[in-house]
Chain A
Amino acid sequence: MHNPQLNAHGELTHLLSIEGLPRAVIIHILDTASSFLKVSHRDVKKVPLLRGKSVFNVFFENSTRTRTTFEIAAKRLSADVINLDVTRSSTAKGETLLDTVDNLVAMHADMFVVRHASSGAPHLIADHLRRVGRDNVHVVNAGDGRHAHPTQGLLDMYTIRHYKNDFANLVVAIVGDILHSRVARSDIHALTTLGAAEVRAVGPQTLLPSAIEKMGVRVCHDLRTGIRDCDVVIMLRLQNERMNGALLPSAREYFRCYGLTPESLALAKTDAIVMHPGPMNRGVEIDSDVADGPQAVILPQVTFGIAVRMAVMGILAGN
């Protein structure tokens, strides 16, 4: 099948999903991020890679945090950044997604960073740009529905590589609401592509998508089994609306069964790291003692996230 993210030379033209990305492309992004990390530590935190380019942050779904990290990354690459909060403007007036895109293309956008509540929306935009002959405009998926959040997946891989060096012998547990999580799907694709020894999906049946084992994960319904002897624990955010009784009886019961506490974390390897895409619900999916403890690498994830997003934008602009 035609891979919509790669051009005829196998180079990345859009970042829509980690699914289908060759291992070499992922490694290249992580290596590039490594070099950009140094930029963030300098007094002058800028490189001129995207000078004169316009990056449009088009968020059809609110997310101040993700938008800010993309904005910082683009600005450190010297791009002009335009933030559009589309939830409150065009679509509210009845404009279709592709009409909005056409208008922004007419304003000479060079790159779209798109967040949308519907799975597949960035694919639709990339496909549309190809059909109207605007292959020179790049699309970065900043989260689409439950489908993918590829830059989060990449920054998670960056974090894991930073602390564990290699993926070959790693056991990674992803715990929580995998059903609604685009982060989980991106992490699973990335980890299986990079050759992690075992990826475990841990949660109650109501929060696991059907046939998830087809993505190459081992399903564990018991937290203790899921965490035992693992190297990396990725906790997922449990959104408040999931706790209304339809999927889970209560936050209290969820924490009792699936919350990460110092006691449950003790089952993992002693040097295991704890990750979380944020924002955290302390006392719901993670105990504060773990979140603030020595094994948590949640804030470094945020720092690495800027460098990874710089790498993605820099590579796309060059292709």
Chain B
Amino acid sequence: MQHLHIRNARLIDPRNGVDEQLDLFIADGRIAAIGRPATDFAAQRTIDAAGMIVCPGLVDLSARLGGIEPELGAAVAGGVTSLACPPDSKPLLDEPGLVERLVRRSDTLGLARVYPIGALTQQLAGERLAEMNSLARAGCIAFSQAKQAIVDTQLLLRAMQYAATFGYAVRLRPQDDFLAREGVAHDGEVASRLGLTGIPVAAETVATATALQLAAHTGVRLHLSRLSSAAAIELIRQARCAGMPVTCDVAVHHLHLSEMDIGYFDSNARFDPPLRSASDRDALRAAVAEGLAAICSDHTPVDADGKQLPFAEALPGATGLELLLPLTLLWARQTKLPLAVALARVTSDPATILGLDAGSLTVGGPADVCLFDPEESWCVTPEALRSQGKHTPFLGYEVSGRVRMTLVGGRIVFAA
């Protein structure tokens, strides 16, 4: 293992409240020292990072992989060193053997660390509980239904009780199946004008309220994924005020876009949950700023066949791993938020939610590091993205923040 010395960088570590010019010393895959090395530290390689920012590698709460190798390559190119992978992959993550295979495969690649989220119910069908204990032994760190809802509320209660038995966290994307039926866009003025079937905000609030009630009843550790509406955020705020340890996240595109970005049926703006009104977007931005919600990329590679269709027939989702950092920086600049606060939402906060020893630059901790040039701007084009997913509504955007180097366990896994 190399001994590395990264010098002259601005070191930002939200967890430890650090934001200053400090050298970083890495040995044997771990952070050896910050500022001043041990007297016997001998660097085999010194990296001059003048003008750069060094921060913990990003932790992504939700990234779908599709092709594992290219997407994990995209992750480290975006500075993401740990990611949670929802269970609606092909095949579904409802069998221990499949989870083991995914973990082994990603370990072999040695790029970003992959943390599988197991299926809460078999086949995600919402009918029978999945083998959570076996899945956890295979490597799952939490359980979810991905995009599927559990319609049967008694089964949802049982799933939470069973997960709570073992102390497993349950993650839900709150959306009521009936209220969202056939919906493809926010039920508001744009969907009405374009003649698209709407998904009302109530689809999210009803499911959120149900999940909160059942979680309070069972004591399960609940995380709600990809909230899209001001009203659902308000429910979380109330639950937190009442002392519930519920956590939530918001997809990074929801911080920047609204229903208006659908324009004339742009299928790149088709998301699940949908882009909502501008006031919803503003409420999400405020919630993330105050630390009520973390940010995820909701990375979903979709190929051209899935997008070159009429809006309602197109597949939802966009590529996001390589945009997570620049879009978070853009939001921070727009809201005049200190960088350390903004970076907490994609490093320490998600690591805490997932219960990982990650998302910080703590002496003795794993050396998962992102080194980026905050000023370098680049244009989002299909060619500029390593992900196989080339579709995003941000195509053509000029963004700032270019990852120059990514380290996982002290190894340089990406350099540009």
Across the interface, do B195 and A124 meet the contact criterion of CB distance under 8 Å? no
Give the residues from 311 to 327 in chain B that come closer than 8 angstroms, CB to CB, to chain A.
311-313
Chain B 193-229 per-residue mask, 1 if CB under 8 angstroms from chain A, else 0: 1111110100000000000000000000000000000
Across the interface, do A119 and B193 meet the contact criterion of CB distance under 8 Å? no
Across the interface, do A182 and B193 meet the contact criterion of CB distance under 8 Å? no
Q: Which residues of A contact B196 (CB under 8 A)?
A: 119-120, 145-147
Across the interface, do B189 and A148 meet the contact criterion of CB distance under 8 Å? no
Q: Which residues of B contact A97 (CB under 8 A)?
A: 309-310
Across the interface, do A118 and B192 meet the contact criterion of CB distance under 8 Å? no
Known interface pairs A119-B195, A120-B264, A147-B194; A210-B309 also in contact (CB < 8 Å): no
Q: Which residues of B contact A119 (CB under 8 A)?
A: 194-196, 265, 310-312
Q: Which residues of A contact B308 (CB under 8 A)?
A: 96, 98, 124, 128
- Which chain A residues have a beta carbon within 8 Å of chain B's beta carbons? 1, 4, 19, 96-98, 116, 118-121, 123-124, 128, 144-148, 182, 185, 209-212, 214-215
Chain B 293-316 per-residue mask, 1 if CB under 8 angstroms from chain A, else 0: 000000000000100111111000
Inter-chain pairs besides A144-B195, A210-B191, A210-B200, 20 sampled, C-beta below 8 Å: A96-B308, A96-B309, A98-B308, A118-B310, A118-B312, A118-B313, A119-B195, A119-B311, A119-B312, A120-B196, A120-B265, A123-B264, A124-B310, A145-B195, A146-B196, A209-B198, A210-B188, A210-B192, A211-B188, A214-B192
Q: Which residues of B contact A182 (CB under 8 A)?
A: 195
Chain B 263-296 per-residue mask, 1 if CB under 8 angstroms from chain A, else 0: 1110100000000000000000000000000000
Known interface pairs A98-B308, A210-B187; A120-B194 also in contact (CB < 8 Å): yes
Closest residue of chain B to A5 (Cβ to Cβ) is: B264
Closest residue of chain B to A179 (Cβ to Cβ) is: B192
Closest residue of chain B to A184 (Cβ to Cβ) is: B195
Give the distance to chain A from B336, nearest Cβ to Cβ, in Å: 28
Closest residue of chain B to A181 (Cβ to Cβ) is: B195
Closest residue of chain A to B187 (Cβ to Cβ) is: A210
Give the distance to chain B from A182, nearest Cβ to Cβ, in Å: 6
Q: Which residues of B contact A215 (CB under 8 A)?
A: 189, 192-193
Across the interface, do B192 and A211 meet the contact criterion of CB distance under 8 Å? yes
Q: Which residues of B contact A1 (CB under 8 A)?
A: 263-264
Q: Which residues of B contact A211 (CB under 8 A)?
A: 188-189, 192
- Ordered by A's residue number, 30 sampled pairs between the chains whose C-beta atoms are within 8 Å are A1-B264, A4-B264, A19-B193, A96-B308, A96-B309, A97-B309, A116-B310, A118-B311, A119-B196, A119-B265, A119-B311, A120-B194, A120-B196, A120-B311, A123-B264, A123-B265, A124-B267, A124-B308, A144-B195, A145-B195, A146-B196, A146-B197, A147-B196, A210-B187, A210-B188, A210-B189, A210-B198, A212-B192, A215-B189, A215-B192
